[in-house]
């Protein structure tokens, strides 16, 4: 059986509105994420959340008041904000993630100081966010905690720096990896991700959404493509390396209806509340790259048929989320291993809740609620628990 929520948790956000704090969301005002959160607020019969624009937060103009509860949402999908974070006018460019990370983490630390000065409470801990947006640090935290993760030679704060393709080749060989994902340390939405296969000197293939123009500049593309020459792959990796790279074993994914499949599990205040199967013809299952939602019932049946456990899969997601106790909601990417029998954690996403129309898992306490309504319903039980967790029961 899946995890169940404590009896102290309100069944809906409306049940808790008498105790609900004044809500604030740091986001891009015209963005769909903010709109979906406001929809959930309205559906709960609560006053609209006050919006602090990311462009103002990045310029040091965020202010908060006593009694406010502040949700930090994604700064993505806004050209002006992207320019402030990455220092480029072209939002399709891949490069610039190191600068993005530096500006983002500095700004959320400023948000913490502003919240403390005003007497507000953040739902997203800036120290957690700094780890979640560095794949090397996140992988190291999970590995040290015993969370199953793919083998990686770049895990943790003390991992060797990757200065280019030669380092990637050497680190893969040293870790015994013929197939690996090479990822931007601070990337998101599969930006800059390469699924690399090596088979001896000069024999290299990479699958990626990165497009390289004749001048050597890298762009994000909605079309996944293959590069089959080592020189081409090396050129891409060498261009990405200054922003920081993470390498991890490419685990063969499970298959559903002839497509590669994995799971995104949303964990709210420590509880797995939502799950979706993501399927693709490529190693990247991101929905914007041609991925599609699969059948969760089929996946659960496949897990049980393989001798695995659905409850155990959700427990792995919760175990990963528990490493970030100051963050109200994360999206955990579960990679099926040995068919559907076991799972490893590919990534933990701070803003992994954008799954429109998806309602809560049976027995989760979030039945009938989308990811935003479930987070709203869980806000009151967070009061008095500064690290954001209450007791859990898994049955």
Q: What CATH number should be reported for the domain holding residue 83?
A: 3.40.50
Contact 50, 68 (CB under 8 A): yes
Evaluate whether residue 366 is within a structural domain.
Answer: yes
Q: What DSSP assignment string belongs to 294-361?
A: --HHHHHHHHHHTT--HHHHHHHHHHHHTT-TT-SEEEEEEEEETTTTEEEEEEEETTTT--TT--PP
The residue range of the domain holding 269 is 252-394
Q: Is residue 224 a contact partner of residue 282, using CB atoms and an 8 Å limit?
A: yes
Q: 362 and 268 in one domain?
A: yes
- Do residues 169 and 273 share a domain? no
Query: Do the domain assignments include residue 79?
Result: yes
Residue 381 is predicted with a pLDDT of 53
> Given this model, what pLDDT does residue 157 score?
94
Domain CATH for 353: 3.30.470.20
Residue 140 resides in a domain: no
In this predicted structure, what is the pLDDT of residue 39? 98
Query: Distance (Å, rounded) from C-alpha 152 to C-alpha 138?
Result: 12
Radius of gyration of the chain (CA): 21
Q: Which of 101, 129, 157 is the last residue of a domain?
A: 129
pTM (2 d.p.): 0.91
Distance CA 363, CA 373 (A): 16
Same domain, 273 and 365: yes
Q: In the numeric block, which tokens belong to residue 47?
A: 């006053």
Three-state secondary structure call for residue 170: helix
Q: Report the distance separating Cα 162 and Cα 176, nearest Å.
A: 17
pLDDT at 7: 29
In a domain, residue 156? The reply is: no
How many structural domains does the chain have?
Answer: 3
Do residue 17 and residue 40 come from a single domain?
yes
Residues 293 and 348 both lie in one domain: yes
Domain shared by 258 and 371, yes or no: yes
**What percentage of the chain reaches a pLDDT higher than 90?**
80
Q: Are residues 169 and 93 in the same domain?
A: no
Domain final residue, candidates 208, 223, 249: 249
**CB-based contacts of 193, cutoff 8 Å, min separation 6:** 181, 182, 183, 184, 187, 208, 209, 210, 284
Q: Which residues of the chain have pLDDT under 50?
A: 1-18, 383-395
- H-helix or E-strand spanning residue 205: strand 203-212
> Residue 122: inside a domain, yes or no?
yes
In the prediction, which pLDDT does 390 show?
Answer: 37
């Amino acid at each position: 059986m899946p995890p169940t929520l404590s009896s102290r948790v309100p069944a809906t956000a409306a049940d808790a509105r008498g105790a609900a704090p004044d809500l604030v969301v740091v986001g891009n005002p015209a963005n769909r994420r903010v709109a979906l959160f406001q929809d959930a607020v309205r559906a709960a019969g609560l006053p609209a959340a006050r919006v602090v624009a990311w462009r103002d937060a990045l310029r040091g103009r965020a202010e908060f008041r006593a009694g406010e509860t502040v949700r930090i949402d994604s700064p993505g999908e806004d050209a002006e904000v992207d320019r402030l974070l990455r220092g480029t006018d072209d939002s399709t460019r891949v490069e610039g993630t190191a600068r993005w990370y530096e500006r983002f983490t500095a700004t959320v630390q400023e948000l913490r100081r502003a919240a403390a000065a005003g007497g507000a409470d953040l739902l997203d801990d800036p120290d957690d966010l700094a780890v979640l947006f560095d794949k090397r640090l996140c992988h190291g935290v999970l590995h040290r905690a015993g969370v199953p993760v793919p083998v990686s030679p770049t895990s943790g704060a003390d991992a060797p720096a990757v200065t280019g393709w030669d380092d990637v080749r050497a680190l893969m060989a040293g870790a015994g990896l013929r197939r690996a994902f090479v990822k931007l340390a601070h990337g998101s939405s599969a930006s800059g991700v390469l699924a690399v296969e090596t088979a001896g000197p000069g024999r290299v293939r990479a699958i990626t959404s990165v497009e390289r123009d004749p001048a050597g500049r890298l762009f994000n593309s909605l079309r996944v493509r293959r590069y089959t020459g080592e020189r081409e792959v090396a050129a891409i990796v060498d261009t990405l390396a200054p922003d920081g790279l993470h390498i991890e074993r490419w685990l063969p994914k499970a298959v559903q209806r002839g497509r590669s499949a994995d799971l995104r599990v949303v964990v709210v205040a420590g509880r797995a509340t939502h799950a979706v199967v993501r399927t693709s013809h490529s190693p990247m299952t991101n929905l914007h790259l041609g991925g599609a939602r699969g059948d969760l019932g089929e996946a659960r049946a496949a897990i049980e048929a393989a001798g695995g456990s659905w409850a155990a899969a959700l427990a792995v997601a919760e175990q990963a989320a528990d490493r970030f106790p100051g963050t109200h909601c994360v999206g955990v990417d579960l990679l099926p291993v040995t068919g559907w029998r076991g799972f490893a954690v590919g990534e933990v996403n701070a803003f992994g809740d954008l799954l429109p129309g998806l309602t809560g898992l049976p027995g989760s306490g979030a039945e009938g609620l989308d990811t935003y309504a479930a987070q709203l319903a869980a806000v009151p039980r967070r009061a008095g628990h500064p690290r954001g967790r209450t007791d859990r029961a898994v049955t």
